[in-house]
Structure 1
């Protein structure tokens, strides 16, 4: 006989009744459990961590001609930048939350490896429901897993440049300096449009996780923990909270803490 909980405090993630006084419902906790199992590969032929390693190590070569490689084919292609960025974000996210949880659960820390950190957090999914930071932990880890899953499943062929004057979205091929509107054919400089979007979005309020996703680049990964560290040190001021009670920070203030090249300022 099954029963549906219709009582308790609302889940800070999905809004459904938690069934008790927890900050997150059992369904959202199970989502985190599934995400961590995906990293470790539990009950799967191989885990997401293995898929990321495969994508990072994958180097293509041109077809051999008459059994001999051409000179160009001897040069390996660069590693998958998208997978590299996703792996870095996932590692930083797990490491951040392992440190946070360890303050309340002082058991031996795992080694700095994706499966080990995910396995360390896995038995604590139910316990996390009752912590005030539980919903944020669930949200950040599951989002990082989704980003990693996309990186190994879908090749990056284009990037969003910004809105065209005609209202359509403009995309550019990865690495191209220009993006072309598919509606009117107008061309836009990628660097110029991104700078315009940056200036337009500076007053946008975001959570630590959203700022990390917006400012991270393959050459400079910014973790949610870094953003929270800025706030705890008084370098970043919170401007209210969202509906999930997560602090909101001004994107422009966070960008000011980054060097022009995207590196974290000292």
Structure 2
């Protein structure tokens, strides 16, 4: 049996399952960035008036609106996109900037050089390994760009893990991913607080504001940019938490959702509750090819809240 670079058994490949998962995670971060959030957006669809002719009278059903739920997915930019974006922004700054502070131009040039060097390193590593892995297994590489090549490697972990030098690639991609996180320009991710819902006049009738609300981390109140309504952030978070209590999701999905709504919950914590029999499993989603069990979000939140009260 082979041993992985981390010392764990690797069975018939070069990397152990844990290292394979880490490499796939890093490749996906570089290629796609992943889903930031999935939100339910309510849309009003007009229903026209209906006239029904009866033998003795004419019945008119007035026009109204039908409310339907639409799923909107917000995606997170990939690390590679953010790296390129950093290069573009820094390329338009320099010593000729108005109001430039002494020494600022040298910093910007150094930062630009670091981002440029890192992008070149990522390009070389991803392209070289994607071509090598594809040729070694007699496959044709369908990817033309670096991001698509990274996505192709992430989608074929077994081929990558079977490469005799996969450990070297794992080390390289881990270092490059960490370097990208340090170099790129990242704005603090805003917290999604749902649709506004404030009462407004729509088509000469009272309706609800459908604008989505986002708040910077740490801000206690937020104002809707469309209608001007002011909302308390903690109350909006509790409202959203209560709204998702009956939803079924996998531990990774629950961890991301609750953490973004102010409840620090890790995947390992949820799996620990499952192992101790504190959570009841539900059937997997019909489109989940991995067949992962789902759990009720509200049950996880109840356990976390109870433990928080005990510790407090």
TM-score, normalization: structure 2? Answer: 0.39
Question: Relative contact order, CA 8 A, sep 6+: which one is greater?
Answer: 1
Q: Which has the higher strand share?
A: 2
TM-score, normalization: structure 1? Answer: 0.45
